[in-house]
Amino acid sequence: MFRWNYTDPSNPEAPDYFLYTGLTAKMTLMVFFILLSLHTLMVALVKLCTSEEFRSRDCSSFQKIIHVICNINIPSPFRDWDVGNFSVEEHKRRHWRTEREMGCLFIVNTVFSLALLGPLWFTGQ
C-alpha cells in the first residue's frame, strides 16, 4: 500500500512507523533487543538443562558463549553423541540426550522466530 502524504507535493511526508508495526520506531527496536536477549537466555538455559558437556568445565566460558550465539540461528549439539569411545548403552543414552537437546532448541527457535514475525503479521492486517 502506498501511504505517503502528498498534500504538499514538493515536500512529501513518510508514513508513521506505527502503521507498520503497531509501535514507534524506538519501541520496535527495544522490543527486538528484548526478544533477542530472551532468545539468547533461553538457548543458554536449554543447553544447561540438556547437555552434560555444556555444564562441564572442560570448555572455556568464551566457547560456550560463542556456541549459544551460533545456536540462535542454527541449532547444533554442543558435543555430538558419537564423539568418544563409549559402550553401546552409553552411546544410546548420549544419542537420546542429543535428540532431546536438539528438539528443545528447535522449539525455542521456532517460538522466537514466530515472535519476530509479529510486525509482519501486523502489517498484513
**Whole-angstrom Cα distance, residue 30 to residue 47?**
26
Higher-pLDDT residue of 63, 121: 63
Indicate the range of 75-79, 98-102, 119-123 predicted with least confidence.
Answer: 119-123
Is the pLDDT reported for residue 84 higher than 80?
no
The model's pTM is: 0.79
Query: Residues in the chain, how many?
Result: 125
Confidence of residue 79 (pLDDT cuts 50, 70, 90): confident
Domain range summary for the chain, segments of one domain joined by +:
23-124
Residue 124: per-residue pLDDT: 72
Inter-CA distances, 94 with 51, 81, 82, 98, 101, Å: 9, 5, 8, 6, 10
